[in-house]
Structure 1
Amino acid sequence: MREIEPVRLAELTTLRTGAAPERMFEATTTAGLVDALRETWARGDEWFVLGGGSNLFVGDEPFEGTVIRVRTEGIDELPSPHQGRIRLRAQAGHGWDDLVAYAVAHGYAGLEAMSGIPGTVGAAPVQNIGAYGQEIQETLVEVELIDESTGEISTVAAAELGLGFRTSVLKHHHGSVPLRRAVILSVTVDLLIAGERVVRGEQLRRALGLTDETPVPLGWVRERILATRASKGMLLDADDPDTHGVGSFFQNAIVTAAVARALPTECPRWPVAPDLDAVTVIPLASYDGMVPTSKPAAVSDVKVSAAWLIEQAGIRKGFKLPRSRASVSTKHALALTNRGGATAGEVAELARFIQSRVHAEFGLVLQPEPVLVGVDL
């Protein structure tokens, strides 16, 4: 590790907001990252780790603490206990899309729909990233992490991370602290060895324009996903202000089936699979020695399109408030962008306005997707 002169976070985050912190470390090795974290924790500093900066919304006031830049890289191929599969272990600072490109180039399936997502590998499980119906939790085996409370390093199975829709026990949600204060050092995924695959997910099939179940090459899937993301301003481009953001600023809303039925039928929606392995609990007072052999049909929650809700609330692509340098992307209603020199305050003002319009129109409160540091919504 090495302590470096603090850099303005506006230069290190894709939303381009944030002043320089009090202190900054840069770690290019796992040992250096561990040392930087342990030293920071021993000092009792406020802190956060910074990878690609693509999922951070940082406030205008200087961060009174330590920022640790994670620059560790590397991919190892490991045997899988499952026939026809392989495991990849990637260091936390490795670029996420670089990992996807590696997997696709070697004919390893399971990540291709998440092509083009910015950020680092270490951030992926924290957010449980996903796109077009594919999520990292489908292939994630385990992570190596270090806990703040003990300073100890351990390997934690994916099942222990509390992975849900764009969340985990490691995520810092606005207004609360993570259930587990820890930093990921490496990530291991288990992938199918197959140069082509049958695409089954509805969202992905729609995005790819597929109408049958003919296997398609992984490289073709990746190319189509990258083209789709580029058309929506979701691929980082220094010359395109529509990409100067955090991707989707708001999460698609997860609602009950009853709430979904109350929304206009035109609102795009997708079922969220219920837990088919849920434990059956029988009150002791009513137990007669028999375990029910059938369960009532599980009612699935529904994911509804936040972009559709925003547009139907009157917020069009390219919308901005008077005299503001922050605006909705001209390509995608779900992305808030910095058009050049926008402050965090300007971006937050726009986000709050959008939330209020959607709530007034549909009664739903959109939740921000990025991690907020020194910002209030």
Structure 2
Amino acid sequence: MHVSYGVPLAPLTTLGIGGPASSLAELHDPAEFPEFVREMRHSPTPPVCLGKGSNVLVGDRGCDLPVLRIATRGIRIMGAMDDGRVLVEVQAGHSLWELVTELIDEGLVGMEMLAGIPGTTGATPVQNVGAYGQEVSDTLRSLEVWDWKLGRRAVLDANACALGHRTSVFKKSRRWTVLSLLFALCRDELSTPVTYRSVADELDVPLGSRVPPAEAAEAVLTVRRRKGMVLDSGEPDRRSTGSVFFSPEVGDPMATKLRRLGAPVSRFPDGSTRVSASWLIRQAGFGLNAPLTHGVRISSVHYTLVADDGASAAGFREAVGIVLRQVLHRTGVLLTPEIDFIGE
């Protein structure tokens, strides 16, 4: 296992912001993980785990804790379950985008709407990654993890992970390091039903339609590109974390009020009623491409925050606060950041 010291973390994140790691270990071979565990035996705290850095903001002074970058790769198609679903084992460092493509090539459906989401597969349960009508909780069956509290490997059933709207038992805890994941998917020639209007419009089909999975994934990619949310596209708005804020939960009276204003208010799989954070940002008076702090602005194509040259972690956090306060003042709805903060 390769260990480096004083490594800049900014290039390892999609925001491109932040200082160095005091130590950075990179795990490419799962067989080397016990070596890392031995190296950590004198550390008072578990490591900070990093995949592709697509949902993190690293502090300007960096991170004093050991950082483990999970870069393991590989998928294994396993046998079918009694209900016909096919089990697929995936290493934690495997690219989610590549996994979606590989599953489509295998004729397996259930994750095609996650096309274009950056990051590693192992990071997806942390905030129950989801988009355009699908969530990781729909197909996740179990995870193999290292439990730093008990000092041993364990298998966690998906039901034990408390997967909710962009949250889980992993979200605010470093107790577990995800090593591999087991998904259960259906073999089918058609996708799961298209439930998002923008994707249905791109496909020119009614809501609820099922289409070839590759066509569904391509439509999702087109919609994401229009929002500047395909990070390999070379677009000027690509330095982002995707959604900076959770879609906030609202009660019935507020939901009724927001619907009257034309807000996209939806019922989520966890039973909560939530409103689009990007709609709230626009409603609060922020314009596309509007500057917030030095090097940080609203995207030119979507109501989220992006970084430019000269951005700092302190400036990004200040920009988050500016948006949060103005949205609360103008709409009465409190936003909550979903970014994971590393370091001071």
Identity of aligned residues (%): 34
Q: Distance in 2 between matches of 1:196 and 1:355?
A: 41
- Give structure 1 regions of 4+ aligned residues with deviation exceeding 3 angstroms: 202-209, 212-215
Separation of aligned partners in 1, 2:141 and 2:316: 37
Residue in 2 that maps onto 1:268: 264
| 1:175 paired residue number | none
Give the AA of the match of 1:361.
Answer: R
What's the counterpart of residue 186 of structure 1? 180
Q: Please give the per-residue CA displacement for 1:292-339, whole angstroms capped at 9, x wherever unaligned.
A: xxxxxxxx53121110100010011111136x11111111102x1111
Structure 1 match to 2:280: 309
Other-structure match for 2:81: 81
Aligned-pair Cα RMSD in Å: 1.9
> Residue 7 of structure 2 contacts residue 21 of structure 2 at CA under 8 Å; is this kept in 1?
yes
The 2-side partners of 1:19 and 1:182 are apart by: 25
Match runs of 1:1-377 below 5 Å: 1-45=1-45, 47-172=47-172, 178=173, 181-197=175-191, 199-202=193-196, 205=200, 208-211=203-206, 214-237=209-232, 239-265=234-260, 266-273=262-269, 301-321=272-292, 324-334=294-304, 336-374=305-343
Check 1:150–1:213 CA distance in 2 against 1; reply closer, same or farther (3 A cut).
closer
Do the aligned partners of 2:145 and 2:180 also contact (CA within 8 Å) in 1? yes
Number of equivalences: 342
| Letter of the 1:330 counterpart | S
> Aligned partners of 1:367, 1:41: CA distance in 2, in Å?
35
TM-score normalised by length of structure 1 = 0.86
Aligned-pair distance for 1:223?
Answer: 0.6
Equivalence for 1:278: none
Instruction: Pick which of 361-370 and 258-267 moved more.
Output: 258-267
TM-score for both structures, normalised by structure 2: 0.94
Contact 2:64 2:343 in 1 (8 A): no
The Cα of 1:2 is off from its aligned counterpart by 2.2
User: How far is 1:207 from its partner?
Assistant: 6.4
DSSP 3-state at the match of 1:351: helix
- Kept in 2, the 8 Å contact 1:257–1:301? The answer is no
The separation in 2 between residues aligned to 1:27 and 1:98, in whole angstroms, is: 19
Structure 2 counterpart of 1:162, which letter? A
What amino acid sits opposite 2:341 in the alignment? L
Residue 21 of structure 2 aligns to a residue whose secondary structure is coil
CA distance in 2: counterparts of 1:307 and 1:351, whole angstroms: 13
CA distance in 1, matches of 2:59, 2:191: 43
- Distance in 2 between residues matched to 1:248 and 1:34, nearest whole Å: 35
Gaps of 5+ in 1: 173-177, 275-299
In the alignment, the residues of structure 1 paired with residue 233 and residue 204 of structure 2 have an alpha-carbon distance, to the nearest angstrom, of: 29
**Following the alignment from structure 1 to structure 2, what is the Cα–Cα distance between the partners of residues 214 and 237?**
29
Letter in 1 for 2:280: L
Q: 1:268 to 1:149 in 2, by over 3 A?
A: same
Cα separation, 1, equivalents of 2:79 and 2:46: 39
Structure 2: distance between partners of 1:183 and 1:194? 33
- How far apart are the structure 2 equivalents of 1:53 and 1:34? 23
Please say which structure displays the higher CA radius of gyration: 1
